[in-house]
Structure formats: C-alpha cells, structure tokens
C-alpha cells in the first residue's frame, strides 16, 4: 500500500474548518438559555463541550508550532455569545498557525500538553474527531428540545 | 502550505479501522432488545444507524475499486448478532479492498453511488465522519439507558 497522501496538509485544514463551520451552526441553533442549561442522560451541556473544543483546537496547534504547551484548561466561555466570539477568533488563528507546521512532523511521535503521546497526525485527528463526536451529542440535545439541527452534510 | 501528506493511505485505513473497533464496542454495549428498540428525540435506533454504516463502508470502497456501484440500499441486519457478524465480515473486506485504490485518485472528483459527487478523499472522510457522528448519538442512547459507553479514546 502506498505512502502517498490520502489527505494533504492543505486538505486537512479545509476539512477541519468545514467541520468547524458546521459546529458553529449547531452552537447557533441552541436557544441562549439551553446551550449551558440543557443535557440528556446526566451528560455535560453542549456549551461545556464547546469549551472543551476551544481548549483543544488552537492550543494543540499553537503547541505544535511553538513547542510551548498551554496548560490543558477548559475554555471559559459562559454564554452563547462568548462561545461564538471565541469560535470566530479561533478560525482565524487556526488558519494562521496550520501552515507553520512542517509536514514532515505529522508522522512523528510527540507528547502534547505534557501528557498525550502519539503520532502528531493522530493527535490532530483526535481533536477533530472529538469535535464531531460531541457535536453529534449536541444534535441529540437539539432533537430532544424539538429543534431541527443543521444538516450534517452541509459544510458551507 | 505543503502538499505533503497529513495522513497517508496506510494511516487512513489504520484510523478508520480503529474507529470501527470502537463502533463495534458501542454496538456490543447495547442490550439485545434496545439496539433496534430504543431512541431519543424521535431519532432512528442505533441499529438502524449501523445498517447505514454497513451500507456505506464496503460499498463505497468496493465501488471505488471496481467502478461498479451497489445501489445505496441500507443494510438489512435486524438483530444485534446480525449487525456484529456483518461488521466483522466488513473489517476483512475493507482491509482487502483499501490497498487496491491507487493513491493518485484521492484528490480526484468522482460520483459515488451515481449521486454523490466530490473529491474521493472527501467522500471517504464523509463515510468515516458519518460513523463518528451517529455513533456519538448511540453514546447518548446508552447514557439515557443508564449504561456507561466505551471510552472514546480507546481504539484498541
């Protein structure tokens, strides 16, 4: 089997930002008081999950580029408007940081945040997949609230 | 930004099969009568979602390799044991088919199943992401049933 690219560095950023646009629409679909005020089955609110996303996306990328790892603290947004503002700021930061990663590093094993050891591409995939995973739980919360969530296939 | 690989063809298969192992554990965590008998918020049962996964994974890969596209029919499993048997059969089929794809095709635009047009790597990412997305809804169902789901980070 080939060692050629399935996904290039450029395509990976495009893929990630497309998912982040969908996540933004899911955040926006929550009523203001339910983003941090609603959950199913004793789980976290979707707002708390978004703070987790914010604590991973830019800190993971910045740590990779600079070698300086933020402590893995959850984001601090407390309202829907704070989450959305942080989200939009991170979109620009991610676009600026991602091209600074040397592609030769992706298959190398590193330790992120002083504690997560793995291949760099696997660590990034974990961050993206974690967002897909918890966002889908936000979909269930919206359905249970009687709200139709954004279409999964729309990444515009 | 580099056109070098973020994820190679080999790494993509490893990533996908790791997710499929986790999905298998989520299926196994459902009580027999709840896999097709339970849902939240008017959504599909997790068993129906698994039939969707089965209708995508091998048919997408086989269509890519052979150019012959199965009609996009949902899987036909009706019980947990049928889902698990189909799942395990597909694990071997996917391992056999994936290396037959010429890596140069991944950035090319194709039409899958006669109706889904996109870059081949994006179409495969959609199949993988769709599994992550709906599996996460299975997590909520398990939580709502009082069952602790498998750890998201465990892909062993």
- Domain ranges in chain B? 9-144
User: CB under 8 Å to B38, separation ≥6 — which residues?
Assistant: B30, B45, B46, B141, B145
Which of B10, B107, B136 is closest, CB to CB, to A1?
A: B10
How many residue pairs from chains A and B have C-beta atoms closer than 8 A?
148
The Cα B123–Cα B126 span in angstroms is 5
Given CB atoms, is B60 within the 8 Å cutoff of chain A? no
The whole-model pTM stands at: 0.96
The 10s digit of each residue's pLDDT in A65-107 is: 999 997 766 668 999 999 999 999 999 999 999 999 999 999 9
Yes or no, beta carbons of B8 and A13 under 8 Å apart: no
- Which positions in chain B touch A136 (Cβ < 8 Å)? 132-137
Count of positions (residues) in chain A? 156
The complex's ipTM works out to 0.95
DSSP class of B98: G
The 10s digit of each residue's pLDDT in B83-128 is: 999 999 999 999 999 999 999 999 999 999 999 999 999 999 999 9
The Cα A46–Cα A138 span in angstroms is 6
| Helix spans in A3-146 (H) | 9-29, 46-66, 80-97, 120-144
Q: Is B9-144 assigned to CATH 1.10.287.610?
A: no
């Amino acid at each position: 089997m080939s060692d050629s690219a399935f996904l290039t560095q450029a395509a990976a950023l495009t893929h990630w930002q497309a998912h982040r646009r969908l996540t933004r629409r899911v955040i926006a679909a929550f009523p203001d008081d339910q983003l941090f005020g609603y959950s199913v089955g004793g789980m976290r609110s979707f707002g708390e999950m978004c703070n987790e996303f914010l604590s991973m996306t830019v800190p993971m990328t910045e740590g990779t580029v600079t070698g300086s790892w933020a402590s893995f603290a959850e984001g601090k947004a407390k309202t829907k408007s704070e989450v959305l503002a942080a989200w939009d700021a991170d979109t620009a930061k991610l676009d600026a940081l991602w091209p600074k990663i040397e592609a030769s590093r992706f298959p190398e094993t590193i330790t992120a945040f002083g504690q997560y050891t793995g291949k760099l591409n696997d660590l990034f995939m974990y961050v993206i997949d974690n967002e897909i995973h918890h966002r889908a739980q936000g979909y269930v919360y919206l359905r249970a609230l009687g709200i139709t969530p954004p279409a999964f296939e729309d990444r515009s």
